[in-house]
Structures are given as structure tokens and as C-alpha cells.
């Protein structure tokens, strides 16, 4: 139902859409009370049990197409899942990256890449929770990133550093944004940026080092150093040098999903205060 305020602004009241999803999320969250989250915050731990419960229920595979073992739901449904998590006092940020980073692989990956990774991501056998974008000298202007990937035969050799990469210690795969050619060689600032899918199980100790970063909130965030990490060229997602456009499919979804979490937070604060 659409309504108009006195200022003429249109608002859309969706009501309780996706009621079965909401009920399912609430039932899971009931098993993870505030004491669970307080203890994790105190110990700076990761909510593995919560993430596994959400995986087992199929919620983290909500946006993955059915042909790859997911639910094939629209992004609104994924937003409802995260909103209800936060409205129930849980912390979905520990797992939400899998929902939006998957969009880059789904929309720009080859058929072979999607068949190889998406079914295992859907079941939880593989975790795609890490998104390597921000760098020490690169924040909002992503086009200025310095991490380089140089083609060497059937591999890319990576040197550089990422910061504020959350969940890297608890992820099997990472989407890594890097430069494969200098910015000055492109017609646009975004030219020369590529996306690589890094298998972190193989990369740890073989050219990639992860260090935990201290933060006010227990967000399991890290900095990552690359020193000669070799990544198979077949792990390139999308065309070489056109990766910036590819990651927007993940970043735009991220903004929508995190907004739902914020709405859920507001609901929880109001309900708790009253």
C-alpha cells in the first residue's frame, strides 16, 4: 500500500512480507540470546554456531539460484532475513558478506566458476565471507588502490596490502580487488582494476599473511599482506581490467542488505527500551 505524507513524499508499507522466512529466522535467533553475543564480544570470538545454524536453514544461500543449490529469492527476501536477525538481537554482520559478495561471482563468473563454487557456498562447505577492497591509503576512492596483480604464465602474482577486511580468518574464499595495469594507461580511472577469487586455504602461508586488527566493535576485522601470492589465472572474475564494474553488483547489494540490518537494530532498540 502506497501512502503520501504532508510533504508529498511517497512511502510504501510492505507490512510483514515473507512471514515464513521471518518466523524461521526468529526461531533460530531465539537459540542465541544476549548472553551468547556478550560473551563473544568479550572474547573477540566468531559466532560459528550462529552462522552454521543460518547455513543449515538455507538462509545464507537465499540469493543463490536454485540450480546451484540455493533458494533463488529476491534481494528483498535476503534483506528480511538480516533485518529479522537484528530485530531479534542477533548480529548478522558475521555472515552477511556471503550474500552480497556472491553477486559478483554469480553475475560475472564463468559457467565453470559458478558450477565449481556456488553449490559448495550454498551448503556451507565453502565460506565466501572476505572482500578485499580497502587499503591503508585508499578509502572511498577505490580507483587509487595499490595492490598489484601481474600475469605470469597461468597465474597472477600479487603484491600489496588490504585493511579492514572482515572475517578473513573465518573465510575459505576472498574476492580480491587489485590493479592489473596502471591507472594512467586506461581511458577511465576504473580501467585496469580486476577481481580475483582467492582460495585462502591455499594462500595462507604461501604469500598471504592475515593479521587481526583491534576495533571498538568485535567485527573480526583484519589486515592482509600479499607478498608474491600466486593465484591461478582461471580465478579471474569477469574481464581483466574491468573488475570495478563487477564488484558494484556486490557493493550495491551490500548497501541494501546493511540498510535492512540497521532497520532491524532500530526495532530491537525500541522493543528493548519499551
CATH number at residue 184: 2.40.110.10
Local confidence band at 95 (pLDDT 50, 70, 90 cut-offs): confident
Is residue 57 included in any domain, yes or no? yes
In three-state secondary structure terms, 180 is coil
Average pLDDT value for residue range 81-99:
93
- The vertex-109 CA angle with 108 and 111, nearest 5°, equals 125
Indicate if 159 and 92 belong to the same structural domain.
no
Inside any domain, residue 152: yes
The region of weakest confidence among 15-19, 41-45, 81-85 is 15-19
Please report whether residue 44 resides in a domain.
Answer: yes
Residues 150 and 256 in one domain: no
Residues 81 and 39 in one domain: yes
Pair (27, 80) in one structural domain: yes
Q: Which three cell numbers stand for residue 246?
A: 563487477
122 lies in some domain: no
Q: What do you get for the CA distance between the two ends of the chain, in Å?
A: 28
In a domain, 119, yes or no: no
Q: Are residues 104 and 51 in the same domain?
A: yes
Give yes or no: residues 38 and 100 share one domain.
yes
Q: Kindly state whether residues 96 and 76 are assigned to the same domain.
A: yes
Which domain does 189 fall in, by range? 127-243
Q: Label residue 238 left, alpha or beta by phi (over 0 means left) and psi (-120 to 50 means alpha).
A: left
Residue 229 belongs to a domain: yes
In whole angstroms, what is the distance from residue 103 CA to residue 99 CA?
Answer: 7
- Same domain for 196 and 145? yes
Whole-angstrom Cα distance, residue 126 to residue 98?
A: 10
Question: Are residues 131 and 237 both part of a single domain?
Answer: yes
Q: What is the pLDDT of residues 189-213, one digit of tens each?
A: 999 999 999 999 999 999 999 999 9
Reference 59, options 35, 95, 31; nearest CA is 95
Q: Are 157 and 84 part of one and the same domain?
A: no
Is the per-residue pLDDT at 5 higher than 90? Answer: no
What pLDDT shows up at residue 15? 62
Tell me whether residue 116 is in a domain. Answer: no
The tally of domains found in the chain comes to 2
- pLDDT-derived band of residue 7, with 50, 70 and 90 as boundaries? low
User: Does one domain contain both 33 and 54?
Assistant: yes
Q: Cβ(147)–Cβ(192) under 8 Å?
A: no
Point out the catalytic residue in the list 135, 223, 254, 261.
254
Is residue 234 part of the annotated active site? The answer reads: no
Distance CA 268, CA 85 (A): 10
Evaluate whether residue 103 is within a structural domain.
yes
Are 141 and 211 members of one domain?
yes
CATH number where 55 lies: 1.10.540.10
CB 158 within 8 A of CB 231: yes
Q: How much is the pTM?
A: 0.90
User: Quick one: pLDDT at residue 147?
Assistant: 98
Contact of 196 with 161, CB cutoff 8 Å: no
Amino acid at each position: 500500500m502506497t501512502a503520501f505524507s504532508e510533504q508529498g513524499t511517497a512511502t510504501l508499507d510492505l507490512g510483514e512480507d515473507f512471514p515464513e522466512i521471518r518466523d524461521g529466522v526468529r526461531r533460530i535467533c531465539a537459540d542465541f540470546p544476549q548472553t551468547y553475543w556478550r560473551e563473544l564480544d568479550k572474547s573477540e570470538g566468531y559466532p560459528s554456531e550462529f552462522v552454521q545454524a543460518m547455513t543449515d536453514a538455507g538462509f545464507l544461500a537465499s540469493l543463490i539460484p536454485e540450480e546451484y543449490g540455493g533458494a533463488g529469492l529476491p534481494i528483498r527476501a535476503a534483506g528480511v532475513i538480516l533485518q529479522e536477525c537484528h530485530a531479534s538481537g542477533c548480529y548478522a554482520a558475521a555472515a552477511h558478506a556471503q550474500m552480497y559478495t556472491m553477486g559478483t561471482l554469480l553475475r560475472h563468473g564463468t559457467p565453470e566458476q559458478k558450477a565449481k563454487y556456488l553449490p559448495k557456498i550454498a551448503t556451507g562447505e565453502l565460506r565466501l565471507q572476505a572482500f578485499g577492497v580497502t587499503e591503508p591509503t585508499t578509502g572511498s576512492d577505490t580507483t587509487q588502490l595499490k595492490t598489484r596483480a601481474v600475469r605470469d604464465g597461468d597465474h597472477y602474482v600479487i603484491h600489496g596490502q588490504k585493511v579492514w577486511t572482515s572475517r578473513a580468518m573465518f573465510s575459505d574464499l576472498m574476492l580480491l580487488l587489485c590493479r592489473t595495469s596502471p591507472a594512467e594507461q586506461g581511458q577511465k580511472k576504473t580501467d585496469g582494476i580486476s577481481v580475483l577469487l582467492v582460495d585462502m586455504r591455499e594462500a595462507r602461508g604461501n604469500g598471504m599473511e592475515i593479521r587481526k586488527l583491534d576495533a571498538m566493535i568485535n567485527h573480526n576485522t583484519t589486515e592482509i599482506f600479499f607478498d608474491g601470492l600466486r593465484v591461478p589465472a582461471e580465478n579471474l572474475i569477469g574481464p581483466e581490467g574491468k573488475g570495478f564494474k563487477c564488484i558494484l553488483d556486490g557493493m550495491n547489494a551490500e548497501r541494501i542488505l546493511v540498510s535492512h540490518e540497521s532497520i532491524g537494530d532500530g526495532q530491537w532498540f525500541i522493543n528493548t527500551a519499551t
